[in-house]
Chains A and B, each alone.
Chain A
């Protein structure tokens, strides 16, 4: 079965650079979520999209932005990167019509800011 696909798997950037993370949800899933997980930390909710519109916002810094495109894939854009942005970034998708949010996660993008 198709899963959530994230790219790239690993990304190394310098401080103040920009990064773009991509997420391709499970086919027919209409909702995408972004989470940030630091070492030894729980996943922190950043932002979610339903049918290409932002549906909820969590602890996403103003330096970050995200969007969901017509094909339902989503991109997380991160600018003015800081050392503290180094983390594992997960994308998850779900099908809202099922009534409850069972999230299926991608393998994540490991971002290292040097």
Chain B
């Protein structure tokens, strides 16, 4: 079992819709959770981070964390074609100072 799991997609949503990206992790001791956006051939770019249970909103992005269910999600409201990218969920695992482990990423396609 991978330490961080995501549905590889592609996830297709129409422009203006809400895109929902999901991630589960195996280590209950995980402390920090991140969402990175990666365009093809480019480096990952941090777009959201969350440390506590609940929701965290930043513009059109909302990160949701449920530590009991070991689940973190990213909602993108009013999806735009420019949001089309691969979204990587990343988690810092317990043990080894804050090593960041990535999921395989979910490819999002926003259709105009």
Contacts and interface: CB of A to CB of B under 8 A. Distances in A.
Interface of A: 33, 35, 41-45, 48, 50, 55-56, 58, 88, 90, 96, 100-108
Contact of B104 (A41, A102, A104): A41
Given A42-B105, A43-B88, A100-B92, A33 B43 contact: no
Interface of B is mostly: loop
Nearest to B45: A105
Contacts of A101: 32, 92, 98, 100
Contact of B49 (A33, A58, A102): A102
Interface residues of B, number: 24
A104 B46 contact: yes
Contact of B99 (A42, A56, A90): A56
B82 to A, nearest CB: 19
Interface-centre pick from B44, B46, B88, B96 (highest chain A CB count, 10 A): B44
Contacts of B100: 33, 45, 101, 103
Contacts, number: 56
Interface string B95-112: 011111111110000000
A103 B97 CA distance: 14
19 contacts: A33-B100, A42-B88, A42-B105, A44-B102, A45-B100, A45-B101, A55-B97, A58-B99, A90-B43, A100-B31, A100-B32, A100-B98, A102-B46, A102-B49, A103-B44, A103-B100, A105-B44, A107-B43, A108-B43
